Amino acid sequence: MHSMSEPVVFENVTKIFWGSKRVVRALDNASFKIPSKTVAGLLGPNGSGKTTSFKLVMGFLKPSSGKVSVFGVDPWVRGESVRRRIGYLPEKPVYPDVPVYRYLRYVAKVRNASEEDVSRIVRLVGLSGYVWMNTRGLSRGYLQRLGLAQALIGDPELLLLDEPTANLDPLSRREILELIKDLKKELGITIVIATHILPELQEVVDYLLYINRGRVVESGMLEELATRYYVDAYYYIEVEEPRKLASRLVVEDYVRGVEIRDKSLVVRINAAFKEELLRVLSLPEYSIGIRRVEMLTSELGELYEKLSGSSR
Amino acid sequence: MKSYREVAGRIVLQAEFLLSMKARAIYVLVVLVGIVYSLGTVYKAYPIVASFGIIGSMLLEVALIALAAAMFDEISDGTVQMYLAAGLSRLEYVVSWFLVAVVYPAAGITAAMLVPALVVDPATIAMPIVPYTIGGFTPSLLIIAIATCIQILNNVTVALALGLKYKSKGIAYLVLAFLAFLMPLVLSMIVSFLGALAGDYYRYYSLYLLMLPFNPLYSLTIFSSSSPIRLSLTTILSVPAVVALVFFLLALYITRRELEV
């Protein structure tokens, strides 16, 4: 029995596709867990097994061997009960050819959600002016909003977003990212984002899973990985007198940058020097005014390069 | 504990959603075929009934497989993922397609055949409409309607089940073409050819038994009182009905065990 603190658990999962010309091992003995209430980034190059992992979580595919467990049950066997607790945005969604509102009402009926729920979500994702348009008439950006809307109906406990900003123009990409950030803040649910575009993950993820050629290369909390791989990280420090602390920190040779905000600082250091930073912050002249210290994010590009290097 | 009422509700909901998108033209055809059939009977236009009945039901089966082919398109283009992601099970999805492409049309054509006759002259329902007897019965409009319904259920179900097995609408078309057109044609040719060679037309008549599990409409004609093999009406109607049920269960088994999307 798996702990409910890990909604997704893969144990030695292999998925093989038997084609007429070649056999593809999309996942190869993969084992990982996604912790509850995290925003997890599923990273890896194209064809690394990200979409296959999502399809296994959704119960669309049957593992060739190994065990997939979602909310403690096998999604291949009891897929519908699992899927009603998951919001899923596929990489290339194909929607039924009906007006947007009709499609969302249909999803709501299947999930026992109310009409009010549909209206609220339509407003949340910014689709209000497009509900009477046919799904096939929507632009790429609005199709992604529709994808998010259908995924959010019925208050899912887990969101799976497969390349949510792929093929979007910069403005749409920014809007979708802001939406995901709002979801993280407001709903506090587990979100898994599969992507190979790093900047978009930088601001939202706190857990990383890197897969390559179907194998899990590395997984862990972002802070833990940043420390392990000596990657630059950004720390947020809420403090009474930010200028005083900033002037103390800039003289430390491991500090690579300090940005003063209203009543806080954002300090960039190599994550390996975290203990050094904490030591300075614990000095009596600074510690009194400090209210909060947390890692904002780390340099994902750098981490990605190191992980790619280690998997070659 | 899974509530079967909820499952049935979701199947009907999905079937309604599919119907509203894809099936209007087919359902107009269903009703038209039924009405022509029925009025032909009421006004005793038997040649129309006999030829239109068999050819019309064949065309209808092709139209229904064309409708059901949309299921294979949905599986290959990924639309099915959006339905399943909403919270349907694979079984609910496939059963809803059976409702749309098999059960509703079969029920629709039976109703369309019987209702006009009831309105014009209720006695027509039990009136013999073909000039031969089968196992002591003379087929009435009611019997023909039931046979048509079973033939549609049988042929489309078998084609859908085998199409699902290979995830191919091509296979479904092929199977339907074989059951509805090729098998009767080829068997007639073989029986006639071999009979002509042997100088005895009825010598190889038992080959027609191959059609019994799939073609009740043909069987009504072939196993009449004048044929050397006599089958009861119950056999002619129940064997293909049982075969349809077996293939439906096979489709459910394939869906549950193998259908990846």
CB pair distance less than 8 Å for A90 and B78: yes
Confidence of residue A56 (pLDDT cuts 50, 70, 90): very high
pLDDT tops 50 at residue B121: yes
Residue with token string 């050629």: A213
Q: Which residues of B touch A110 (CB under 8 A)?
A: 10, 13-14, 86-88
Q: What's domain A8-224's architecture?
A: 3-Layer(aba) Sandwich (3.40)
Q: Which residues of A touch B84 (CB under 8 A)?
A: 58-60, 79-80, 83
Window from A18-27, A62-71, A119-128, B1-10 with minimum mean pLDDT: B1-10
* β partners of residue A11: A67
Q: Which residues of B touch A59 (CB under 8 A)?
A: 84
Residue B118's pLDDT is: 78
What value does the mean pLDDT take over residues B179-193? 90
**For residue A261, with 0-12 CB atoms within 10 Å meaning exposed, 13-18 middle and 19 or more buried, which class applies?**
exposed
Q: What is the pTM of this model?
A: 0.84
CB pair distance less than 8 Å for A93 and B90: no
> In chain A, what are the domain boundaries?
8-224, 229-311
Which of A54, A92, A110, A136 has the most B C-beta neighbours within 10 Å, making it the best mutation to test the interface with B?
Answer: A110
pLDDT tops 70 at residue B238: yes
What value does the mean pLDDT take over residues B83-100? 94
Q: Which residues of B touch A111 (CB under 8 A)?
A: 86-87
A23 touches chain B (CB under 8 A): no
A75 touches chain B (CB under 8 A): no
Q: Cβ(A34)–Cβ(A89) under 8 Å?
A: no
- Measured CA distances, A42 to A221, A225, A226, B245 (Å): 12, 14, 16, 45
Residue A201's pLDDT is: 77
CB pair distance less than 8 Å for A93 and B81: yes
Q: Which residues of B touch A93 (CB under 8 A)?
A: 78, 81-82
Confidence of residue A1 (pLDDT cuts 50, 70, 90): very low
Q: How far is B171 from chain A (nearest CA, A)?
A: 17
Q: Cα–Cα distance between B114 and B39 in angstroms, integer?
A: 10
Residue with token string 């049309």: B105
* β partners of residue A238: A264, A292
Q: What's domain A229-311's architecture?
A: 2-Layer Sandwich (3.30)
Pinpoint the alpha helices (H) of A50-137. Answer: 50-58, 79-83, 100-110, 115-124
Residue A311's pLDDT is: 62
Percentage of chain B lying above the pLDDT 90 cut? 33
Going by the DSSP 8-state scheme, the letter that residue A2 receives in this structure is: -
SS3 A76: coil
Residue of B nearest to A98 (CA): B21
Residue A23 CB: number of other CB atoms within 10 A? 8
Q: How far is A142 from chain B (nearest CA, A)?
A: 16
pLDDT tops 90 at residue A203: no
A171 touches chain B (CB under 8 A): no
A192 touches chain B (CB under 8 A): no
CB pair distance less than 8 Å for A107 and B86: yes
Interface of B with A (CB under 8 A): 10, 13-14, 17, 20-21, 77-79, 81-90, 92, 258, 260-261
- Measured CA distances, A276 to A249, B17, B56 (Å): 11, 62, 85
Confidence of residue A64 (pLDDT cuts 50, 70, 90): very high
Percentage of chain A lying above the pLDDT 90 cut? 38
Q: Cα–Cα distance between B8 and B20 in angstroms, integer?
A: 18
CB pair distance less than 8 Å for A110 and B82: no
Residue B204's pLDDT is: 86
